Amino acid sequence: MSSLRILTPTLLAGILGLIIGCSPESATVSATAPAVVMGNPITGAGLPNPAPDVTPNWGKLPEGRKWGTSAGIEIDPKDGNIWAYERCGGGALQDEQTNCDTNPVDPIFKFDRNTGDVLANFGKGIMVTPHGISVDREGNVWVTDFAGNAAGTKGHQVHKFSPDGKLLMSLGTAGKPGSGPDQFNQPNDVIVADDGSIFVADGHSGQGMTTNEAMEKGLASGATARIIKFSPDGTRIKEWGKIGVRHGEFRTPHALAFDSNGRLWVVDRGNHRLEIFDQQGTYIESRYMYGRISGLFIKDRMVYAIDSESSPTGHVNWRNGVRIGPEDEDRITAFIPPFEREDRVYQGAAGEGVAVDADGNVYAAEGPNSLKWAGGAFTKYSVR
């Protein structure tokens, strides 16, 4: 009897809660509360697509040229337009001989984000295979050149251009890869902090080292997987990282981004994760829900990470595409699906670089795995 008296108020409170929960007033409250999105982060099934209108082959290429591959696309911080590059008609799986040395045309483009018209085009004769691109707060354009030419006179450098294409600075020794103090060995990406500090992600080969023996051989050969920090004038300050699987080690640090707190995010492609550091190189935390990532963009505290590399033999079941999630959680809340590709059963093909404009439209830079299926070097995914 006493137990019933104790339980009855509890039951009544629960029933009252259900009644209130079904009232119109409660619907208003729940609509403003943070929504928990249910869906599969591996396949993307059940996740919303925030930019469903697809424009393949976006951007206008000068007459007489054909699209090459890309891995880099960026937003101009001053006017919101699009900076990107294409590899001078080369880089496709079926054409490994064409590059910006053998076909010296201007690889760097600025596009009008609304029309795709070319607003600037430069960089001819300087690079071999551009790989990473970023734009600093003054509007200067930074590009990494991650391969060398046959003559050993170009490549393995980081270049800084003015917005109108004047070469302002080059880091690294042209055509001479290595791990020395003035050398890069396949620099993947570059980014500039608000104070002008320069960060370079160096070393592309680690992603294929899938055994301890392979990693040991890679290290012994001088292969790199590191982040190098420079002062604004290009003076080398420090580096961290090597080929490996521990935090602070990498198997291809493929792309870089800063979050809202100024933390440096590193795409660790071969280890299928995002590694987060302070600007002194101290490890903070990781993210694991974004696939085998190639490119990264952070806007309004949301992370956009594009997976171009998951495949039936290289990261089974994970679907290519853009995974989106909150900066402060390891959780996927939205997904932009890839182009379909028959030999990547259920997984598709997506680009390597990603950027997001002021309206929430998403842009992808198409690499060797997706160029043929995308139809051009760039794809625009528009909001409705």
Neighbours of 140 (CB within 10 A): 16
Neighbours of 307 (CB within 10 A): 28
- Chain segment 372-382, per-residue pLDDT in tens: 999 999 999 99
Q: What is the CA 298 to chain-centroid distance, rounded?
A: 9
Predicted confidence band at 330 (pLDDT cuts at 50, 70, 90)?
Answer: very high
Q: What is the pLDDT of residue 277?
A: 98
Q: For residue 192, is pLDDT > 60? A: yes
Q: Which residue has the tokens 């997506």?
A: 350
- Mean pLDDT value across residues 92-97: 68
**Cα 338 from Cα 349, distance rounded (Å):** 5
Look up the pTM and report it: 0.90
291, two tokens: 């696939």
Sheet holding 264-268, edge to edge: 253-258, 264-268, 273-277, 283-287
Which value, to the nearest 10 degrees, does the dihedral of the CA atoms of residues 116, 319, 52, 76 take?
-40
Q: What is the CA 30 to chain-centroid distance, rounded?
A: 34
Residues in CB range of 11: below 8 A, 6 or more apart: none
Q: For residue 179, is pLDDT > 50? A: yes
Q: What is the pLDDT of residue 5?
A: 34
**Cα 354 from Cα 2, distance rounded (Å):** 65
- Chain segment 272-284, per-residue pLDDT in tens: 999 999 999 999 9
**Cα 318 from Cα 238, distance rounded (Å):** 35
Q: What is the pLDDT of residue 240?
A: 98
- At the topology level, CATH places domain 49-382 in Neuraminidase (2.120.10)
- Mean pLDDT value across residues 39-49: 97
The alpha carbon dihedral of 233, 238, 241, 242 has a sign of positive
- Mean pLDDT value across residues 134-158: 97
Residue type, 36: V
**Cα 316 from Cα 42, distance rounded (Å):** 10
Q: What is the pLDDT of residue 4?
A: 35
**Cα 168 from Cα 354, distance rounded (Å):** 26
- Mean pLDDT value across residues 231-252: 98
- Chain segment 19-33, per-residue pLDDT in tens: 334 434 333 333 333
For the chain, what percent of residues have pLDDT higher than 90?
Answer: 87
Per the prediction, the chain carries an average pLDDT of: 91
